[in-house]
Amino acid sequence: MIITNFSPVLFKDVIVNENAVKHLLAEVKNDRIGHAQMFLGPEGSGKLGLAIAFTQYLLCDNPGKKDACGECPNCQKMNSLTHPDLHFAFPVPISKADKVATSDDLRSEWNQLILKQPHFGVENWLDHIGSEGKNPIIGVDESRAILKKLSLKSFSGKYKVMIIWLPERMNAQAANKMLKLLEEPPQQTLFLLLCDNNEAILPTIISRTQTLTVPALKREQVADYLSKKNGIDKAVAHSIASLSQGNMVEALNAAHGDKDQLAYFDLFVKLMRSAYAANPNDLMAISDEIAEIGKQRQKNFIKYGLHIFRESIIMNYMKDQLLNLREEETAFLNKFAKFINNQNITELMEEFNEAHYHLERNANAKILFTDLVIKLTKLVRKGV
């Protein structure tokens, strides 16, 4: 696990499009702070850090022209994300058995994740709370909780800020209650809705918010963050940054995933050997093994498989091209690559791409991988 200690509170430390910061500073300077704002931008564009830094700036006792002071009592409370005027609402896997109904039930886990680093997606969040594969939402209890929190008096005498992460995950009931809140907001409140995709949001909610577009990060911003804050080798950081197209969440997942690569390699070798030998017991065992590693890793594993297939083709047909492989992978492919050829490559890639597609749509992993393994036994033999 890569741990970086995020100081979430200052604009200068937030990795985000700089125009978005300028826009917010201008709002404050011109005294035109919209009471409900939607930060709209693709996943991994740094909206959460931006929202927290903005809150910090608004609550700070001695804000400068460009940033909060970082030291006053309000700033200190923000440092640990425990400022009483800082509120969050975020999707949770609602479960009576686990006693989870609203964000409050998982607030300490939430703070912990942000303080580690603020660029994460829904799957990282679920992974963090041990709820992989669940479908988290913002439910109606959450809207009630929001109303209750915002009807309290402001602690600092300034804004009460409600940061709503992924409002597109509000269910209909919650959204309707939310709409009323936005129509008649309690005094001194500021709503910041951090939205990846506004197609799933009621148009009436959108029309009651002011939209700030937050574009994807520049590749250099991502590469810098990976190498300086995460200790990733510069060249690797650059290649990850360009593959992730400015999506910091994806880039970090890839960087963390690098450590999983070895595990994927072992699994892949086992999978291909079992497929080649076509021993039913081995095949069941391997599909069980993959079914248990969790959704995110399954998707990464599938991507890893696609990568190995491509490298096999390069090894077989494009000898002058550089291979992008580790030592142990090269050793394996020196024997295995010949089975991946014109006879089966298209179908192999198709099957893996399809598996990825279905995983994204929450297919049952056990069924999916059993099916894939059976297909592989035929496809691997086709290449012999």
Footprint on this chain of Zn ion (rule: CB under 5 A): 60, 68-69, 72, 75
User: Residue 154 or residue 279: which is nearer to Zn ion going by CB?
Assistant: 154
Instruction: Give the β-pairing of 210-213 and 189-195.
Output: unpaired
User: Residue 8 or residue 139: which is nearer to Zn ion going by CB?
Assistant: 8
Single-letter amino acid, residue 373 = V
User: Residue 72 or residue 349: which is nearer to Zn ion going by CB?
Assistant: 72
Q: How far is residue 368 from each of residues 159, 354, 356, measured CA to CA in Å?
A: 50, 10, 10
User: Residue 79 or residue 230: which is nearer to Zn ion going by CB?
Assistant: 79
* First-last CA distance in the chain: 40
User: Residue 75 or residue 145: which is nearer to Zn ion going by CB?
Assistant: 75
**Contacts for 30 with CB less than 8 Å, ≥ 6 apart:** none
Neighbours of 229 (CB within 10 A): 16
Using DSSP's 3-state secondary structure scheme, residue 370 falls into helix
Question: What is the nearest approach in angstroms of Zn ion to the Cβ of residue 239?
Answer: 39
User: Residue 64 or residue 231: which is nearer to Zn ion going by CB?
Assistant: 64
User: Residue 64 or residue 130: which is nearer to Zn ion going by CB?
Assistant: 64
Question: What is the nearest approach in angstroms of Zn ion to the Cβ of residue 5?
Answer: 19
| C-alpha angle 377-382-384 in degrees, rounded to nearest 5 | 100
Q: Classify residue 341 as exposed, middle or buried by CB count within 10 Å of its CB (0-12, 13-18, 19+).
A: middle
Q: What is the DSSP string of 5-45?
A: ---TT-GGG--S-HHHHHHHHHHHHTT---SEEEEE--TTS
**Contacts for 160 with CB less than 8 Å, ≥ 6 apart:** 85, 87, 149, 150, 152, 154, 186, 188, 189, 190
Question: Longest Cα pair distance anywhere in the chain, in angstroms?
Answer: 74
Question: What is the nearest approach in angstroms of Zn ion to the Cβ of residue 104?
Answer: 26
Question: What is the nearest approach in angstroms of Zn ion to the Cβ of residue 234?
Answer: 35
User: Residue 60 or residue 355: which is nearer to Zn ion going by CB?
Assistant: 60
The answer to whether 103 and 88 have CB atoms below 8 angstroms apart is: yes
Question: What is the nearest approach in angstroms of Zn ion to the Cβ of residue 28?
Answer: 14
Instruction: Name the nearest CA neighbour of 174 among 92, 108, 231.
Output: 92
